[in-house]
Amino acid sequence: MSSLSSTSFHVSASPYVRFLPDSVKNLVFQSSSIQSPLDESRLFLFPGFCDVHVHFREPGFSYKETIRTGSLSAARGGYTAVCPMPNLNPVPDTLPHLSEELALIRDTACIHVYPYGAISMEEKGETLADLESMAEHVIAFSDDGHGVQQNEIMREAMLRAKALGKIIAAHCEDNSLLRGGCIHDGSWAREHGFPGICSESEWGQIARDLELCAQTGCSYHVCHISTKESVHIIREAKKSGIDVTCETGPHYLVLDDHDLIDEGRFKMNPPLRGREDREALIEGLQDGTIDMIATDHAPHAPEEKAKGLRGSAFGIVGLECAFPVLYTRLVRKGLITLQQLIDRMAYAPRKRFRIPLEEDSFTLWDLGAEETIDPDAFLSMGRSTPFAGDTVSGRCLLTVSSGKTVYRHPSIA
């Protein structure tokens, strides 16, 4: 990583520069120009994005992704802080197990990486993990990839997390309702003969957890919501004063099951839902029910994603194309403002998870540049995205984290 003092660029005084502290603006304005012809009116400086839901696969599954490649991928997408989930080997369910991941983060990450600790031992949902020993080293607790099936286990987890001042971040999925499904249980699945995953498998567990949250007073966050019922339930819970936030992914906001192709790059968990669900998610984003956008960046080896919708592993990558996709499909179409998008990608996640917004961490974008999403150009080891081949607006020119240049587009000398 090169130091900020070697960074060479200029940025116009767009209204979005005001989101950053004066000290950062001064660092930018005192620098010299980009060494390529660019329309300065297209350049926008944002705080570094923050993704509270990624999978970096290390330790245990480094053939899919490493902390180094994952953090480089994040930097290329404009992120300066990410939170990797605990589906690892060993699962970070005790301090010794967590320490393996912490060491890799310390030695190889190029941006800020704040890991989760598991809720239960080995994420099996049977006995609670050693939450107390991990608390000061993790951003929150989650069994992501697995819904906690037993009510009493989740209730006890909430009580202990509350005592520790930590958030429970829940992957909500009722296993009894999955029935071997691979995509949303909607018209497309029925027309094409695919087993479906019903919406209640998600929203039913959210409703259960919110009742437990009301009883315990736990700070609760719902991962990757995808259904209209989830939006409604969370909206009503917020009105009643329950301490709940939620996230959704870029793919749920701009795609639905009518966009499906029988390829692994369209298989994720939860699945792409129906058109009404997507519209409800956009409404939830507009009115603040949905607090933040997280990619659920989940890389797999090529062979694990080459078996169509039925046989491929669940999960897609998203860090390197999230902002351009959302800017193109939501902001430029007038569905949300650019300020709302920056809030959901940078400010809101930091506020909820108490992640610092550093004055010398930011990202510079050319919003007028058009790009074709090319997975072969990704810095991530994962290549599976439903947005492959799409033309989007927005090019990340530079990402600076803690005063260090962690990504620089080739167009910048």
b/e burial code for range 292-301 (CB count within 10 A of at least 16 → b)? bbbbbbbbbb
Tokens of 242: 């329950």
Mean pLDDT value across residues 354-366: 92
Left, alpha or beta for 38 (phi > 0: left; psi -120 to 50: alpha)? Answer: beta
CATH of 49-361, one of 3.20.20.140, 3.30.1330.30, 2.40.50.100, 3.40.50.720: 3.20.20.140
Q: Are 35 and 397 in contact (CB under 8 A)?
A: no
Q: Provide the token pair at 186.
A: 């909607």
User: Which positions ≥6 away from 351 have C-beta within 8 Å?
Assistant: none
- Whole-model pTM: value is 0.93
pLDDT of residue 23: 58
Q: Quick check: is 144 catalytic?
A: no
pLDDT bracket for residue 231 (50, 70, 90): very high
Q: What is the mean pLDDT of the chain?
A: 92
Phi, psi of 154 (to 5 degrees): -65, -40
Q: Give domain limits for the chain.
A: 49-361
- Cα 368 from Cα 326, distance rounded (Å): 14
pLDDT band with cut points at 50, 70 and 90 for residue 33: very low
Nearest-angstrom CA–CA distance, 316 and 28? 34
**Is the backbone peptide bond immediately before 115 cis, with ω within 30 degrees of 0?**
no
Residue 249 token pair: 């992914």
Give the tens place of pLDDT for each residue, 144-154. 999 999 999 99
CA proximity to 220, closest of 171, 293, 271, 151: 171
Percentage of residues of the chain with pLDDT beyond 70: 90
Q: Which of 246-250, 326-330, 331-335, 358-362 has the lowest mean pLDDT?
A: 358-362
Residue 176 burial by CB count (10 A; 0-12/13-18/19+): exposed, middle or buried? Answer: exposed
Structure tokens at 8: 């060479």
User: How many CB atoms sit inside 10 A of residue 174's CB?
Assistant: 17
Tell how strand 196-197 and strand 183-184 pair up: parallel
> pLDDT tens digits for 103-131?
999 999 999 999 999 999 999 999 999 99
Tens of pLDDT, residue by residue over 133-173, are: 999 999 999 999 999 999 999 999 999 999 999 999 999 99
Identify the active-site residue in 209, 296, 343, 366.
296
